[in-house]
Amino acid sequence: MQMKKSKGIAILLVIVLATGFLAYLSAFGIGSNQTGSAKDIKLGLDLAGGVSITYETTEPNPSAEDMSDTVFKLQKRVETYSTEAQVYQEGTNRINIEIPGVTDANEILEDLGKPGSLTIESADGEVVLQGTDIKDAQPATQQNEMGNNETVVVLTLTDEASDSFAEYTANHIGDNLPIIYDGTVISNPTVQSAITGGEATITGMDSYEEAEELASIIRIGGLKLELQELRSNVVGAQLGEEAIKTSLLAAAIGFVIICVFMCVVYRIPGFASCIALTLYVGVILGLLNAFQITLTLPGIAGIILSIGMAVDANVIIFARIREEITAGKTVRSAIKIGFEKALSAIVDGNVTTLIAAFVLAVKGTGTVKGFAYTLALGIVVSMFTALFITKYVLNALYAIGLQNEKLYGRGKERKTINFLGKKVLWFAISGIVIIGGFVFLGVNKANTGNVLNYSLEFMGGTSTNVTFNEDMTIQDIDSKVKPVIEGITNDAAIQTQKVTDTNQVIIKTRTLTLDEREALNVALEENFGVDTSLITTETISSTISSEMQKDAIVSVIIAVICMLLYIWFRFKDIRFASSAVLALVHDVLIILAFYAVSKISVGGTFIACMLTIVGYSINATIVIFDRIRENMVEMKKESLDEIVNRSITQTLTRSIYTSLTTFVMVAALFVLGVSSIREFAAPLIVGVVCGGYSSVCITGALWWVMKKKIGTKTKA
């Protein structure tokens, strides 16, 4: 049914007003506090700073195992404030906690209390359990005796404590067992029966949030080491204000270029996509605010990827519309059929990436979890804007009179390119690059002891506290201090944080030798007149612990398996799924080779970069596989070679345009960004090019080889 002109005008008016409102909200917010504005979005330590707290163990010489265990459990505790909170070891008996988005150190200290000071006592003060006797504490929902759901906290005891606690509770049924943390009773449960099996349940919770908070406090109170506060500071952004400004400018320029490109290439449909993309940006900013998601540099990568996928969805739709117009359909019919035919590729590509984001959000920690949140949010919003907003805007524009076929364009009939004929060349190029990458990994291992140039997030490093003679601004630190430090370290991976209301600046670098420390002291004295006697240095551990690295690896493996199963289910052929996964491995190895050759620092953004490429690559692969599946039905009389080559040729424009638009966004970051931003953007640029190459040249050829070599029957 054709949309009436009046309805078209009404739809356009509503969408324009909604876009304008979101733009106003992002710029100015609501009320004197500017609630809902872009400035109100929670930013991570790398973009905005936060609170830094240093604890010292009461035991002077704790074991490395106890320190590692304490760091990991503290990380889990402080993630309740922000998924981007960092916990790392400083020296031999100190632990640093950095929490973004907060400015009141005293409030955090009061909330945390004294870690490792929890006991469960009898009413007369006898200690029944130490905090270290509690292995874990988690909120849960269970049915009570009345059959109603209630929220509880489940305590899991160590094997050593289980038997003694069972004996004690059997003899003290009806007694209270107050749980005391940092000198305060936080819960006063009653023994209702003998507690056997090493698992106790605390009832009487008013809400799940209350149970979650109690469980979190018990976990931090059950640390093996007791900690005391040594110092606390409010610190500035690690990357500095200049990094934020250039990133925002790059994003704005990239967005404008994309909009101009879409309008020039796709005319009226391109204009409709620009309106939808603008609305997309406004919705994303609003939801980041609403869900209080902490935005970091990896989070920005997730948004960039989702913008690329939003553009990709529009390109797929518009290409289909042009094909239908070329086939003789009217513009109105072409719009309808174009959206219908593009639906499966868009849904499959986005859902596959969404599955990965969900797994990473559930299983990942720290940077991985933050990346997953922003990516998932971006995918959902991009699908909504592409499939609904773009469709309504396009139909509304048609309804108000923009109906001339020339305003929509025709698809050009392309001669089928023989991609499979060059498959040996494609495989050889990829093989040479991947093998070359492994060679460089070996060379790096021989020369430096590490296969990659791991930054302080992975390897730990040196923290230098410098007291300047004047209050250094963030701009001064970025433009004057960092170049001096980089001249000593020959490494752009430098984190600096300004301690609020002081002249102190915390400088974090890779581990410095004694000679480098001395050279840094001399350089700071010569360039800034710093009193070297006030400079203090400490060795710090990695902010990405071995447990977090393990979580990230496990998360990626599970995500890849889930993607494989989904593709297998949707395409009814495991060869589609396995070739897609092999293409992912191919892309990851290419990026790894780039890191090995370029010696770019491998830090927290490395994980986000790899995940971004995985998401980008799988989406491009799905589009080609969707066309192969369709053509196998429509081109039954053609050879398999012709079907594959034809499918890749038909989607070639989409592959080029999507790679180009995503490339523009990332390239703007690289050109305009500071050195740390460029180190983040460079691998993404390589990944975008590699993802486009593999989707066009590798995936179809891999599937063809599997189809020819592994069985002959394929279900479409």
What CATH number is given to the structural domain containing 501? 3.30.70.3400
Handedness of CA 699, 704, 709, 711 (dihedral sign): positive
How many domains does one find in the chain? Answer: 5
Q: Which of 137-151, 229-243, 627-641 has the lowest mean pLDDT?
A: 229-243
Q: What is the rounded distance in angstroms from the CA atom of residue 613 to the CA atom of residue 592?
A: 11
Extended strands (E) in 158-203? 179-181, 184-187, 199-202
The separation between CA 647 and the C-alpha centre of its own chain, rounded to angstroms, equals 32
Domain contains 60: yes
Q: Identify whether 475 is part of a domain.
A: yes
338 domain-assigned: yes
**Is residue 536 located within the same domain as residue 551?**
no
425 and 552 housed in the same domain:
yes
Give residue 589's pLDDT: 92
Asked if residue 659 and residue 574 are part of one domain, the reply reads yes
Supply 511's token pair. Answer: 């581990």
- Given a cut of 90, whether residue 321 has pLDDT beyond it is yes
User: Under 8 Å CB-to-CB from 438, ≥6 apart: which residues?
Assistant: 593
What are the beta bridge partners of residue 184?
181
CATH of the domain at 588: 1.20.1640.10
- What are the tokens at 76? 């889990």
Phi, psi of 85 (to 5 degrees): -65, 145
Other Cβ atoms within 10 Å of 429 Cβ, number: 14
Indicate if 371 and 475 belong to the same structural domain.
Answer: no
| pLDDT, tens digit (0-9, with 9 covering 90-100), for 271-294 | 999 999 889 888 888 888 887 777
Does any domain span residue 609?
Answer: yes
489-532 tens-digit pLDDT? 887 778 888 887 788 888 888 888 899 999 999 999 999 999 99
Same domain membership, residue 599 and residue 516? no
Between residues 711 and 54, the one the model is more confident about: 54
Residues 279 and 360 grouped into a single domain: yes
Q: Is the pLDDT of residue 335 over 90?
A: yes
In this prediction, residue 715 has a pLDDT band, given cuts at 50, 70 and 90, of very low
Same-domain status, 504 and 398: no
**Which of 193, 222, 251 is where one domain is finished?**
222
Residues 333 and 269 in one domain: yes
Kindly state the average pLDDT of the residues 656-684. 82
Mean pLDDT lowest among 28-32, 184-188, 321-325, 541-545: 541-545
In contact, 137 and 219? CB cutoff 8 Å: yes
pLDDT score, position 352: 86
Secondary structure (DSSP) of 228-293: EEEEEEEE--SS-HHHHHHHHHHHHHHHHHHHHHHHHHHSHHHHHHHHHHHHHHHHHHHHHHHTTP
Each residue of 200-219: pLDDT tens digit? 899 888 888 888 888 888 88
pLDDT (mean) for 473-484: 82
- Residue 556 resides in a domain: yes
Q: Over 70: is that where the pLDDT of 475 sits?
A: yes
Is residue 670 in some structural domain? yes
Q: What confidence score (pLDDT) does residue 431 get?
A: 95
What digits encode the pLDDT tens for the residues 223-281?
778 888 887 777 766 665 666 677 778 878 888 888 999 999 999 999 999 999 889 88
Are residues 480 and 351 both part of a single domain? Answer: no
Residue 612 has pLDDT above 70, yes or no: yes
Residues 6+ apart with CB under 8 A from 130: 118, 119
Q: Do 154 and 209 belong to one domain?
A: yes
Asked whether residue 96 is assigned to any structural domain, the reply reads yes
In this predicted structure, what is the pLDDT of residue 101?
A: 72
Which pLDDT belongs to residue 680?
77
Residues 701 and 556 in one domain: yes
pLDDT of residue 662: 83
- The full DSSP string for 84-95 is T-EEEEETTTEE
Residue 642 has a pLDDT of 93
Indicate if the pLDDT at residue 417 is higher than 90.
yes
Residue 525 lies in a domain: yes
pLDDT class of 714 with cuts at 50, 70, 90: very low
494 and 479 Cβ atoms separated by less than 8 Å: no
If asked whether residues 638 and 700 sit together in one domain, one would say yes
Domain residues for the domain of 300 are: 5-26+239-406
Averaged confidence pLDDT in the chain: 84
Question: In the listed set 104, 137, 166, which residue is the last one of a domain according to the structure?
Answer: 104
pTM above 0.85, yes or no: no
Residue identified by tokens 């909009």 is: 259
Considering 178, 194, 222, which residue would you say is the last residue of a domain? 222
User: What are the φ and ψ backbone dihedral angles of 496, each rounded to 5 degrees?
Assistant: -125, 140
